[in-house]
Amino acid sequence: MRILIIEDEAPLLQRVSTQLREQGYAVDTAADGRTGLYLGQEYPLDAAVVDLGLPDLSGIEIIRRWRAAGRPFPILILTARGRWQDKVEGLEAGADDYLVKPFYLEELLARLRALIRRTGGWSQAVLACGPIALDTGAQQVTLAGQPVELTAYEYKLLEYLMLRAGTVISKTELTEHLYQEDEDRDSNVLEVLVGRLRRKLDPDRTLNPIETLRGRGYRLRLERA
Amino acid sequence: MRSLNGRLLIAASVVLVAFLSLTGFTLDRAFRDSASSAVRDRLQAQLYMLLGAADLDAFNRLSLPQSLPEARFSTPDSGLYADVMDNQGNLVWRSPSLLGLALPFFPAVRNPGDTQFAPLESSNDTPLFVLAFTVSWETAPNQYRLYTFRVAETQWNFRDQLWSFRRSLWGWLLASTGVLLAVQGAILRWSLKPLRQVAAEVTDIEAGRRTELSGSYPEELQPLTVNLNALLRHAHAHLDRYRNALGDLAHSLKTPLAVLRGALENSAPDEELRHTLSEQVERMNRTVDYQLQRAAASGRIALSAPLPVAPVARKILDSLAKVYASRAPQLQCEVTASTVFYGDEGDLMEILGNLADNACKWCHRQVVVRAHPAAHGDRMELVVEVEDDGPGIPAEQAPLLLGRGQRADPTVAGHGIGLAVVRDLVEEIYYGRLDISRGALGGALVRARLRFQANGG
């Protein structure tokens, strides 16, 4: 999951981005509005966290411009003033949720997860496709009720595939959304990762949860529960 | 022209002077006409007298007797003259008063029965009124001759009359103009006195010698002074609120600070210290949040335009629909288009937002927002109701949630500081009342009554 954070307060930006990276998100950061606006327009984001009180360009303005340019990702706004007028203005501009400062990081994470789930069409915290269930809160995966041990990258890959279960996802899209900018983006790594995931989720090769569509990408083919 | 007094004075003076001059000219003209027609009547009478006295002499010529009933015809230079011409323009007779004088050659002999009247000058430049009358005289049976009788009088008398009339006319007109202007000036001063009084009172307010304008103003000024007073009271209330909020804030931060200092001095174990720290930080955060929201309330009741409630409610519900998208509660808005709020949009958003947000948090599936106007004595009320189908709020908990009897640090879990903020807004700024009861849907029904003056001001 690729997330952009625009926040002019350096310690807060640092803290939030570190926390999100630890949670397995690919994080882009911007300390001012103009950079943030540019990143949001250029990068394939899964969600954005925007502080409303930026020095150069207001958060509301950034959100308006993104929406005007047709950027679809969910946006969470951060506001220091808890006034409803500000919240309503932000949500009207195109944001999807708000958080009043100061906030707990767990709260931010939960809201982000919910927003990303909602974009994929899931309303519950546990994503279930066939016998596979992925708990986005606890970051745990079970196969027919039995816990499956996954590495961080395997989890990220499965989460992305399950969120968009039923749609074809290209390798480029996967690398863009799963990897940090400065990480190795060899597509062979992705193939190896998919292979390992298949072995763990389908040890006796009867389920075939992830299908490969030659030249187009991957698709999680199990029905959503 | 920057002064009202000056404008009114100049306009009224111009009108007054124009009116009085017109009156003067009209009266002058009327007097002149009537005086000159009096002269004409007099001359006519003299003329008839002459006609009566005239007779034919032995040679069949027209002649008049030596002594005429009017003595002035016989006295030289008496101011009243007469002569008679035949149709060739030869003088047949002239009055003895015309000694050494001649009437101007006027008018030419016309048809019998013609009368002509004109101001003319005599041979020695004396201004005269001349009346001429042509008659056809039967000198012999069936033989007629034309004679023109002329009677003249000097204009001196007429002019004296005219001048004395004019003197008194214009004298009186000028005097009344002066008096009217003076009266008008006095009326203006008297009428504009309240404006000067307002200015003086505003100066007093600025200097701190009084707090508001006195109530005894003419009704044209009442809206201004009433609104000005409302504005002043509002400013005072605002100031008081800031002062109170600051006091409350400082006061309510003292307790957690004392707890923290105590924990530090007791050198408690790390775990306990951490616990105390996080607890007190949370408490301080709530306090700051609460006071911030309270302070942000503007309560702009005075002079605010009516704000339709429906669009604001719609905005809030749309926002909440987004925020609670995963639970997808059914949000219903029952506000008629004509329902209005007299106050600050931010305050209304704060009230509706907090109430609806709480309802969304607690509802099972359904939230209803209602607003309708109601009369309350001479004041208007806006009743705002937010209802949900959640578990509801037990009656004994309601006062606690509303934070009655306590000013700050409302730390009731779940409903957060929202309800307390709404209560402050409704009860302290809009002089209304906030109630919690059980609604028809089975959950909590929070009703806010907001009060305004009947004219909305």
Q: Which two tokens stand for residue B305?
A: 């335009």
| pLDDT at site B75 | 87
Residue B379 and residue B261 share a domain: no
Residue A191 and residue A137 share a domain: yes
Helix (H, G, I), strand (E, B) or coil at B300: coil
Q: Do B319 and A92 touch (CB under 8 A)?
A: yes
Provide, rounded to the nearest whole percent, the portion of chain B with pLDDT above 90. 24
Confidence at B355, pLDDT banded by 50, 70, 90: very high
Strand pairing of A2-6 and A26-30? parallel
Helix (H, G, I), strand (E, B) or coil at A70: coil
Residue B271 and residue B368 share a domain: no
Helix (H, G, I), strand (E, B) or coil at A7: coil
Of A160-169, B427-436, B446-455, minimum mean pLDDT range: B446-455
Residue B206 lies in a domain: no
Confidence at B410, pLDDT banded by 50, 70, 90: very low
Mean per-residue pLDDT over chain B, rounded: 84
Strand pairing of A47-51 and A75-79? parallel
Residue A101 and residue A39 share a domain: yes
Residue B411 and residue B308 share a domain: yes
Residue B413 lies in a domain: yes
Residue B309 and residue B265 share a domain: no
**Which residue in A81, A87, A123 is closest to B353 by CB distance?**
A87
- Number of residues that this document lists for chain B: 457
Strand pairing of A217-220 and A210-213? antiparallel
Confidence at B248, pLDDT banded by 50, 70, 90: confident
Residue A52 and residue A22 share a domain: yes
String of b and e for B52-82 (b: at least 16 CB within 10 Å)?
A: eebeeeeeeebebeeebebebbeeeebebbb
Q: Which two tokens stand for residue A202?
A: 């389908």
Residue A13 and residue A39 share a domain: yes
Chain B residues whose C-beta sits inside 8 Å of any chain A C-beta: 285, 289, 292-293, 296, 315-316, 318-319, 322-323, 325-328, 345-346, 349-350, 352-354
Q: Residue A89 belongs to a domain with what CATH number?
A: 3.40.50.2300
Residue A66 lies in a domain: yes
Residue A225 lies in a domain: no
Residue B389 and residue B279 share a domain: no
Among the candidates A100, A119, A138, a domain finishes at A119
Nearest residue in chain A measured CA to CA from B352: A84
Q: Which two tokens stand for residue B131?
A: 């009346």
Find chain A residues with C-beta within 8 A of B296's C-beta.
81, 83
Residue A193 lies in a domain: yes
pLDDT over 50 at B454, yes or no:
no
Q: What is the mean pLDDT of residues B347-375?
A: 91
Phi, psi (deg, nearest 5) at residue A157: -65, -45
| pLDDT at site B456 | 42
Kindly report, residue by residue over B80-119, the tens digit of the pLDDT.
999 888 888 788 888 888 888 888 776 665 778 888 888 8
Distances (CA, A) of B299 to B160, B169, B234, B454: 81, 67, 8, 17
Among the candidates B295, B326, B356, a domain finishes at B295
Q: Do B316 and A88 touch (CB under 8 A)?
A: yes
Strand pairing of A75-79 and A97-100? parallel
Q: Do B319 and A123 touch (CB under 8 A)?
A: no
Q: Do A87 and B346 touch (CB under 8 A)?
A: no
Q: Are A142 and A133 in contact (CB under 8 A)?
A: yes
Nearest to A40 by CA among A114, A100, A54: A54
| pLDDT at site B301 | 55
Count how many domains chain B has: 3
| pLDDT at site B254 | 81
Q: What angle do CA B350, B351, B356 make, to 5 degrees?
A: 100
String of b and e for A164-176 (b: at least 16 CB within 10 Å)?
A: bbeeebebeebbb
| pLDDT at site B107 | 61
Residue type, A130: G
pLDDT over 80 at B19, yes or no:
yes
- Alpha-carbon distance A194 to nearest alpha carbon in chain B (angstroms): 30
Residue A134 lies in a domain: yes
Q: What angle do CA A73, A79, A81 make, to 5 degrees?
A: 155
Find the farthest-apart pair of alpha carbons in chain B and give their distance in angstroms, rounded: 166
Among the candidates B132, B160, B188, a domain finishes at B160
Q: Residue A146 belongs to a domain with what CATH number?
A: 1.10.10.10
Q: What is the full DSSP assignment across B143-179? A: EEEEEEEEEEEESHHHHHHHHHHHHHHHHHHHHHHHH
Nearest residue in chain B measured CA to CA from A77: B323
| pLDDT at site B414 | 46
Residue type, A84: W
B213 vs A112, higher pLDDT: A112
Among the candidates A119, A150, A184, a domain finishes at A119
Confidence at B402, pLDDT banded by 50, 70, 90: confident
| pLDDT at site B413 | 43
| pLDDT at site A136 | 87
| pLDDT at site A65 | 95
| pLDDT at site A142 | 92
Q: Are B451 and B381 in contact (CB under 8 A)?
A: yes
Find chain A residues with C-beta within 8 A of B328's C-beta.
123
pTM of the model: 0.60
Residue A212 and residue A185 share a domain: yes
Residue A90 and residue A46 share a domain: yes
Task: State the residue for tokens 């200015």.
Answer: B199
Residue B266 lies in a domain: yes
Nearest residue in chain A measured CA to CA from B418: A82
| pLDDT at site A27 | 93
- What ipTM goes with this model? 0.81
pLDDT tens for chain A, 225 residues long, are: 899 999 998 889 999 999 999 888 999 999 999 999 999 999 889 999 999 988 889 999 999 999 999 999 999 999 887 788 889 999 999 999 999 888 888 889 999 999 999 888 887 888 999 899 999 888 899 998 899 999 988 998 999 999 989 899 998 888 888 887 666 667 688 888 899 999 998 888 888 899 999 889 999 988 887
Residue A182 lies in a domain: yes
Name the burial class of residue A81, with classes exposed (0-12), middle (13-18) and buried (19+) by CB atoms within 10 angstroms of its CB. Answer: middle
Find chain A residues with C-beta within 8 A of B354's C-beta.
84
Residue B140 and residue B13 share a domain: yes
